[in-house]
Amino acid sequence: MSQLQSKIPDGPISEKWTRHKNNLKLIAPSNKRKYDIIVVGTGLAGAAAAASLGELGYNVKAFCYQDSARRAHSIAAQGGINAAKNYPNDGDSVWRLFYDTVKGGDFRSREANVYRLAEVSSNIIDQCVAQGVPFARDYGGLLANRTFGGTQVSRTFYARGQTGQQLLLGAYSALMRQVNKGKVKVLSRREMLDLVCVDGVARGIVARNLATGEMERHSAHAVLLCTGGYGNVYYLSTNAMGCNVTAAWRCYKRGAFFANPCFTQIHPTCIPVHGTYQSKLTLMSESLRNDGRVWVPRNKDDKRAPEQIPEAERDYYLERRYPAFGNMVPRDIASRAAKERCDAGYGVGETGMSVYLDFNRAIQEQGKAAIEAKYGNLFHMYKKITDEDCYRVPMKIYPAVHYTMGGLWVDYNLQSTIPGLFVLGEANFSDHGANRLGASALMQGLADGYFVAPYTVGDHLATHKLEKIPTDHPAFNEVAQETDGKLKNLLSIQGERSVDSFHRELGGVMWDYCGMARNASGLQTAIERIQKIRWEFWENVRVTGSGEQLNMELEKAGRVADFLEFGELLARDALAREESCGGHFREEHQTEDNDARRDDEHFSHVAAWEYRSPDADPIRHQEELHFENVKLTTRSYK
């Protein structure tokens, strides 16, 4: 497994990052302006990295497919951001945040990376407040905190139910400041379609201008991929419509290993599916479980309205099964418990595929105004979508695909197996193991962007001899030609089925066989079905319009084509991981209580997949995980 050098620094865990920073090579301030850096994606990780690198003096080009950098999907994160500030004096520490995150990830993440994340978490809050991010405050004027799943302290900072929006606008503002200074150029309505490597080092990208259709070449000394997760492989997810795996998948096919693709997070509290025309699912923040209680009727055929079911005939199944954490168990556990109740026939709502999230007791105890102050915008959103008032009746919720812990493999420097290609935020795999705790995604995106990449990218530039590469270099010509050929191919098929119909079909297969519960025969079926859908796609897809204009069908077609390849890798990874851990639940590996049965002896490793060719199966590499600071235990929230 010589390819996978995690480059974890020596020394005690609490000193690794400090020591490492002291050893990283620097570039003199006056020399930084000689380096060009490409940042793809302008969410929390991308905007933070692009702004910070611009501040340092590098020439940065930031790319996003949206019409403005401010619209990246980090903006939709609701609940909050964790930090080990211990402001509430409830015993929190860097160690506890580190421990909770490793345990929450079901012991499938790298200790050193997670410790660093916990270590810089406090700086993030300081930075954001200095940017003018209006976090919630108490009457005394100090910052307020709340609790999130999988923890027993209050360490989550929040801005009502719009924390992601406020953090992203903070990073976007910092980015706009650098644009004004001429250090960052934002190229919006651009989609990265491939990576250009010269002598095995990432040196640029090919991107399509989505407004004009023009193919563009951009050369740089380093490329940072901050392109988010791949949840939309399931078609229905809480991701934005445009979220896709294309940039990461292109890099995979150029030599970057893809790690743990089967680690997907199904979030327990989403608005249930209501029709076949449905285009996306909407999350209701985990913070709601602070005051909301999850239940189903105790009797299977109880069709009464929820308010008519007396207390004794309700089953608060999370409180029953997990008395210590109750409604605040981690997401994977809450999701599986909901599925278990619904599959057993206790589900509520028209389809029987939802459970109640009830605020009645909280409203009685705290008053409607207090609940409104905390969750007003979420209740409002729920009413818009469902036409129901959950101050009066309980919410109906069901799990939905939300976040992906897997991603491109990176070392401690966030560098992929392609030198010069760095991967930040949700697009990498490193910090959340097999399950991410709530309010940790924002923390990780900003940690990578503000406080990790600015150091490690500099080291790469300082330790490599990197001549400027002109955009008519043969490597650029080759990649641009390939990309152009693929788009022309998509337009020339002129079949009978729409792009969306293929995406929906793929999503159905993924949800049925690679969703909350997986088994070997189902995964085999999924692989065969995906191959068949892919084959039909390339025979029978209809992409209208031309490539020389704004053409959203063509954009979607390219993304779905990549999802159709990626979905198979996800299923392969799920098949190879013969254990249950975190968001990956194999029915063959469970306890009598339907809890996950991990297999540390054989699977305490990262699976990193290497692409070979269209006809050859990918190779599964392993990076063994070493736990020197936390003891591997069976995760218990009882």
Interacting residues with other proteins between 540 and 569 (CB under 8 A): 542, 544-545, 549-550, 552-553
Q: What's the closest the beta carbon of residue 228 comes to other proteins, in angstroms?
A: 12
**Site for other proteins (CB under 8 A): which residue of 166, 227, 244, 264?**
166
Q: What's the closest the beta carbon of residue 85 comes to other proteins, in angstroms?
A: 7
**Site for other proteins (CB under 8 A): which residue of 498, 525, 531, 629?**
498
Query: Taking CB under 8 A as the rule, does residue 633 contact other proteins?
Result: no
Q: Which residues inside 133-162 make contact with other proteins, applying CB under 8 A?
A: 133-143, 159-160, 162
Q: Which is closer to other proteins, CB of 169 or CB of 490?
A: 169
Q: Which residues inside 453-472 make contact with other proteins, applying CB under 8 A?
A: 454
Q: Which is closer to other proteins, CB of 270 or CB of 581?
A: 270
Taking CB under 8 A as the binding criterion, the range among 28-36, 228-236, 379-387, 590-598 that sits at the site for other proteins is 379-387
Q: What's the closest the beta carbon of residue 378 comes to other proteins, in angstroms?
A: 11
Q: Which is closer to other proteins, CB of 68 or CB of 489?
A: 68
**Site for other proteins (CB under 8 A): which residue of 384, 465, 592, 616?**
384
**Site for other proteins (CB under 8 A): which residue of 87, 235, 398, 511?**
87
Q: Which residues inside 501-520 make contact with other proteins, applying CB under 8 A?
A: 501
**Site for other proteins (CB under 8 A): which residue of 35, 99, 172, 234?**
172
Query: Taking CB under 8 A as the rule, does residue 301 contact other proteins?
Result: no
Q: Strand 421-423 relative to strand 184-187: parallel, antiparallel, unpaired? A: unpaired
Q: Which is closer to other proteins, CB of 491 or CB of 570?
A: 491
Q: CA triplet 339, 589, 260: central angle to 5 degrees?
A: 85
Of 331, 436, 577, 635, the catalytic one is 331
Cα–Cα distance measured from residue 553 to residue 498, given in angstroms and rounded to the nearest whole number: 9
Q: Edge-to-edge strand order for the sheet containing 605-610?
A: 407-408, 258-259, 605-610, 619-624
**What are φ and ψ of residue 167, in 5° steps?**
-70, -40
Asked about 331 being catalytic, the answer comes back as yes
Q: Which is closer to other proteins, CB of 344 or CB of 552?
A: 552
**What are φ and ψ of residue 623, in 5° steps?**
-115, 110
**Site for other proteins (CB under 8 A): which residue of 41, 242, 582, 583?**
242
Cα–Cα distance measured from residue 49 to residue 37, given in angstroms and rounded to the nearest whole number: 10
Q: Which is closer to other proteins, CB of 315 or CB of 500?
A: 500
Contact pattern from residue 336 through residue 375 relative to other proteins, giving x for each residue in contact according to CB under 8 A and a dash for the rest: ----------------------------------------
Token pair in block for residue 372: 């409104």
Q: Strand 36-40 relative to strand 222-225: parallel, antiparallel, unpaired? A: parallel
**Site for other proteins (CB under 8 A): which residue of 216, 340, 484, 500?**
500
Q: What's the closest the beta carbon of residue 43 comes to other proteins, in angstroms?
A: 11
3-state secondary structure of 56: helix
Q: Say if CB 243 and CB 232 are below 8 A apart.
A: yes
3-state secondary structure of 146: strand
Contact pattern from residue 413 through residue 452 relative to other proteins, giving x for each residue in contact according to CB under 8 A and a dash for the rest: -------------------------------------xx-
For residue 24, the 8-state DSSP code is S
Using DSSP, how many helices (H) and how many strands (E) does the chain show? 18, 21
Handedness of CA 71, 77, 80, 83 (dihedral sign): negative
Nearest Cα to Cα of residue 48 among 424, 396, 584: 424
Q: What's the closest the beta carbon of residue 35 comes to other proteins, in angstroms?
A: 18
Q: Strand 293-297 relative to strand 497-498: parallel, antiparallel, unpaired? A: unpaired
Helix 163-181 × helix 44-56 angle, to 10°? 30
What are the distances in angstroms from CA 104 to CA 14, 46, 149, 435, 586?
Answer: 20, 25, 9, 6, 18
Token pair in block for residue 422: 């760095």
Q: What's the closest the beta carbon of residue 65 comes to other proteins, in angstroms?
A: 9
Q: What's the closest the beta carbon of residue 285 comes to other proteins, in angstroms?
A: 11
Q: Say if CB 519 and CB 586 are below 8 A apart.
A: yes
Q: What's the closest the beta carbon of residue 238 comes to other proteins, in angstroms?
A: 8
Q: Which residues inside 95-124 make contact with other proteins, applying CB under 8 A?
A: 123
Cα–Cα distance measured from residue 435 to residue 433, given in angstroms and rounded to the nearest whole number: 6
Query: Taking CB under 8 A as the rule, does residue 131 contact other proteins?
Result: yes
Cα–Cα distance measured from residue 437 to residue 149, given in angstroms and rounded to the nearest whole number: 7
Q: Which DSSP helix (H) or strand (E) runs through 39?
A: strand 36-40
Nearest Cα to Cα of residue 208 among 468, 538, 556, 503: 556
User: Three-class SS string for 245-313?
Assistant: CHHHHHHHHCCCCEECCCCEEEEEEECCCCCCCCCCCCECCHHHHHCCEEEEECCCCCCCCHHHCCHHH
Token pair in block for residue 294: 């999850």
Q: What's the closest the beta carbon of residue 187 comes to other proteins, in angstroms?
A: 11
**Site for other proteins (CB under 8 A): which residue of 180, 308, 492, 521?**
180
DSSP strands (E only) in 419-481? 421-423
Q: Which residues inside 186-205 make contact with other proteins, applying CB under 8 A?
A: 186, 188
Cα–Cα distance measured from residue 411 to residue 415, given in angstroms and rounded to the nearest whole number: 5
**Site for other proteins (CB under 8 A): which residue of 241, 344, 369, 520?**
241
Q: Strand 541-542 relative to strand 497-498: parallel, antiparallel, unpaired? A: parallel
- Give how many residues touch other proteins by CB under 8 A: 84
Cα–Cα distance measured from residue 512 to residue 503, given in angstroms and rounded to the nearest whole number: 14
Q: What's the closest the beta carbon of residue 160 comes to other proteins, in angstroms?
A: 7
Q: Which residues inside 267-296 make contact with other proteins, applying CB under 8 A?
A: 274-275, 277-280, 282-283
Q: Say if CB 278 and CB 270 are below 8 A apart.
A: no
**Site for other proteins (CB under 8 A): which residue of 8, 34, 55, 360?**
55
Taking CB under 8 A as the binding criterion, the range among 521-529, 539-547, 591-599, 624-632 that sits at the site for other proteins is 539-547
Q: Which is closer to other proteins, CB of 441 or CB of 571?
A: 441
Q: Which residues inside 60-79 make contact with other proteins, applying CB under 8 A?
A: 66-73, 75-76
Contact pattern from residue 567 through residue 606 relative to other proteins, giving x for each residue in contact according to CB under 8 A and a dash for the rest: ----------------------------------------
**Site for other proteins (CB under 8 A): which residue of 15, 90, 126, 512?**
126
Q: What's the closest the beta carbon of residue 451 comes to other proteins, in angstroms?
A: 7
3-state secondary structure of 513: helix
Helix 520-540 × helix 474-493 angle, to 10°? 90
Q: Which is closer to other proteins, CB of 139 or CB of 613?
A: 139
Q: What's the closest the beta carbon of residue 16 comes to other proteins, in angstroms?
A: 19
- Show which residues are catalytic: 331
